[in-house]
Structure formats: C-alpha cells, structure tokens
Amino acid sequence: MKKTCCTAIVEMNEFKRNFEYNNSVILTLNIKYPLINIPHNKSAEDNINNMINMQIREYYNYVSRTLYNNAIEYYHDSQTNNFPFHVNEAIMEYNITYNDNCFLSLYKDKYEFTGGAHGSTIRSSDTWETCQGTYIPMYCYFYRGTNYMNLLINEITKQAEQNLNQNPGIYFEDYKNLIIQNFNPDSYFLTPYGMNIYYQQYDIAPYSTGIVEFTIPYEIIGWYPSC
C-alpha cells in the first residue's frame, strides 16, 4: 500500500501590506506562500509549516525595519535633491517544484527594488521528506564517501559549456572558476527530472542572464525520489 504521506496538499496564500511615510506609500510588500497539509500526519505538517512561517516572519521583520528605513532615507533624498521618488518593492514568492514520492521541494525568490536602474532577486530553497517533515541537506542524496561536490561541479561545467556554445556571452569569461567558487550546497531543489542547482545573479553571469539553473538528472546522482 502506498504511504499516505507521499504527497502534500498545498494551498497558496498571499499577504500584502503598504508602508507609508508622510501620508505617502513608500514601500509595498507582497508575500505569496504555501500552507502545507499532510493528511494523517500533523507532526510532519507542523514541522514544514513552522519553518515556512519562521521564514515569513524573518522577512517581514527585515522589510518593516531595514527596507522601510532605507525607503524613508531614499524619500528624503529625492525631496532634497528634487528627483523622482519611485515606490520601493519587496516580493517574496514560493514555488513548489516537486511534491510526490514522500518529498516536497520548493524555492522562494525575494525580489527587492530600492531605487536605481533595476531590482535584485535572491533565491533560496528547501526540501523535506513528508513522512517525518525532515529537512534534507544535499549530501543525503549520495552514498557516504562520494565526492558529490566534484561530481555535480563536473556536470554543471559540462552543461555550461554546451549552453555557452548555443548562446555566446551568457556567462562571465571566468565562469568555470566561478562555478567552483560560488557553488553552494544549499542552493538546490528537486524537480521531476532531477536535482536543480542554481547560482545567484552575478555569481557566474551578468544581470541580463538572471539566476542560472542547471538540472542534474537523477541517474547521474544515483538516487531517485521514493517512499
């Protein structure tokens, strides 16, 4: 019999708030987040939801303090120097990438516009098994003693070379060294096709390329999601 914990029920929610100063909106916040339900397994459900709620609270506190104070300073500068003020933005959006076979994986993008030519986005991600609600670090997918970072970096470099041949200029010239230097074992999530490993804006490529993703097939990892 297939375990009831194999697939979570996901309900997406949205929270919005405008921050004002001098009777003007100077900062907007928009958070799109999941509420996880795992039938007959409240303990695992609570573990996952508590972690997501903690992340939301931390981001709200950061926005309401740091970004709000920065927006006030930007507002005063625009008034003093007589240049246009553009409302600042903060957006955090969760995206479910895998939800099957007792695994739940997602990433969240935090986009912030604080003035200037364009905003910036920072990505982070989380993966849990849904029977216990346990958070899964990257090394858990590999046999003990496997140099998994070397295995993954070699595959990423191979894919990057192929991408560069098809689209010259999408990476920095020293992208091979940057792939190694900026590799982060926390920067991954699961998909139906493999493990997606990503690099932040400017890590290995210019802003125009955005967040760079590489999908490592499960057969290369030697592991497949299963209960």
Q: CA separation (Å) from 92 to 50, 69, 109, 131, 169?
A: 17, 19, 6, 27, 29
CA 105 to chain centre: 11
Q: What amino acid occupies position 40?
A: H
Mean pLDDT per 10-residue section of the chain, whose length is 227 residues: 68 98 96 96 95 98 98 95 94 98 97 90 97 95 93 98 95 97 98 98 95 97 92
Q: What is the pLDDT of residue 177?
A: 98
167 phi, psi to nearest 5 deg = -135, 80
Q: What is the pLDDT of residue 227?
A: 87
Q: What is the pLDDT of residue 116?
A: 78
Q: What is the pLDDT of residue 64?
A: 98
Q: What is the pLDDT of residue 5?
A: 60
Which structure tokens are listed for 186?
Answer: 């926390």
Which structure tokens are listed for 116?
Answer: 């200037």
Q: How far apart are CA 185 and CA 200, in angstroms?
A: 13
Task: Give 90's strand partners.
Answer: 29, 112
Task: Please give the order of strands across the beta sheet that includes 134-135.
Answer: 9-21, 24-37, 88-100, 103-113, 120-129, 134-135
Under a CB-based contact definition with an 8 Å cutoff, are residues 127 and 36 in contact?
no
Q: What is the pLDDT of residue 117?
A: 78
